[in-house]
Amino acid sequence: MKLYILAIVALFAVAQVQDLQAQGACSSTLESIENANMEEVSAEYKRLLSYQNPYCDTTGSDFEKLMKKLSAQLLEAKATTEIVLQNMGEPYYRGSLADYENQKVTIGRDGKPSGKSLPPAYKLPAGEYFVVYLWRKKDYLIFAVKGGKVVTTKWWKKGDY
């Protein structure tokens, strides 16, 4: 009986460690996200992004905090599009407002969707060019660019019409 109980306790402990390791793959190694500089935040963001871990897709995760911190730093620095791409990687969408509308999801003759699901154009912040990152397959981080520099950022959640 004691052996049986020890085996159950051991299995529970292994499951807990595996769960912590899975969450740990979305935990920042930075001492403080708030006090980190843009280079540190960018490196940590890219590291967590590379794991493609579902724990990163939760509200309040270190990954979300890094995205918000990095977007604020890029806005404050009035970063160029190239600097945004260097720090955050390839976006879900980038282009002008004229091209933006052409990217909308439509259903083709074959019944298959084409284009990208994007926030409605009237919800976009003012800008000439947009760099859009998709998070959790439903939230968007939008960088609006004017004159080659980021002028504002905005989060948009699917269903926010």
Task: Return the closest-CA partner of residue 70 out of 27, 38, 43.
Answer: 38
pLDDT digits (tens, 9 = 90+) for 86-139: 999 999 999 998 888 777 777 777 877 777 888 887 788 889 999 999 999 889
Cα gap 133→146, rounded to integer Å? 18
DSSP secondary structure, 63-89, as one string: HHHHHHHHHHHHHHTT-BHHHHHHHH-
Torsion of CA 83, 89, 92, 94, to 10 degrees: 20
* pTM for this predicted structure: 0.78
Give the pLDDT score at 2.
Answer: 65
CB neighbour class for 149 (10 Å; exposed up to 12, middle 13-18, buried from 19): middle
